[in-house]
Structure 1
Amino acid sequence: MSTYGFGDHGRMGLSDGPPDLETLMAAADRLTEALHAEYPGLVRYGESIQRELALSAEDGLPPNRGKIRTALEEIAVVASAGTTSLTIIQHLFHAFDL
């Protein structure tokens, strides 16, 4: 298992295979926290990812990768290098194989 640091937002372990839904939800929570601190205007995109993952947990279907990709791309356009937000979205892009 690899562990990635997220600055003041702790560490998150991602296994070599696809992460489980619980791990993805934790990453989305950390992303939203980081957005609150770094880019308050982008919080709605973090919340969008959280909603998609929560819906997936409720209905048992895979998360809507299109909506998640759109939200991640919107954040990536603005997020600066070295920020916690950018680090987390890079790992989420990889986790969702986007």
Structure 2
Amino acid sequence: MGSNYHINNVNGPAIFGDNGRMEINNGTDAATLLRLADQLVERMRVESPALVPQAQVIQGELAQDGRPADRGRIRAALETIGIGVAAGSGGLALAQEIGRVLGL
């Protein structure tokens, strides 16, 4: 009798994305991700107005129809926001969640 272990429906090489990183997005759809980006823009307007353009880069990339989002631009914008906002802030939490969902 063989045994298979499936942890949270993670099974096999299909979960590995770019650069061998595991990508477990738990079914987050594009609309939910775009909502997170919208919230990030609004949060940056309150917490760090100088970082609004970076949040808008993320929002714009995720809103594109007809082409995939530029993950490099999103990653760079998320890193800039991560450096520029206060630890424990709502903006940082949103940026981290977007990065997690995208597997960045």
Common fold by TM > 0.5: yes
Misfit runs of 4+, over 2 Å: none
Aligned length: 81
Q: Is 1:89 aligned to 2:95, yes or no?
A: yes
User: Where does the alignment leave 5 or more consecutive residues of structure 1 unmatched?
Assistant: 1-15
Counting aligned pairs with the same residue, the percent is: 38
**TM-score normalised by the chain length of structure 2:** 0.73
Equivalent position SS for 2:28: coil
Alignment of structure 1 residues 49-60 onto 2, 5 Å? 49-55=58-64, 58-59=65-66
One of 18, 28, 32 as aligned partner of 2:41: 32
1:72-87 aligned within 5 A: 72-87=78-93
Whose strand fraction is larger, Structure 1's or Structure 2's?
Answer: 1
Structure 2 unmatched ranges of 5 or more: 1-24
Higher helix share goes to which structure? 1
Q: CA deviation at 1:50?
A: 0.9
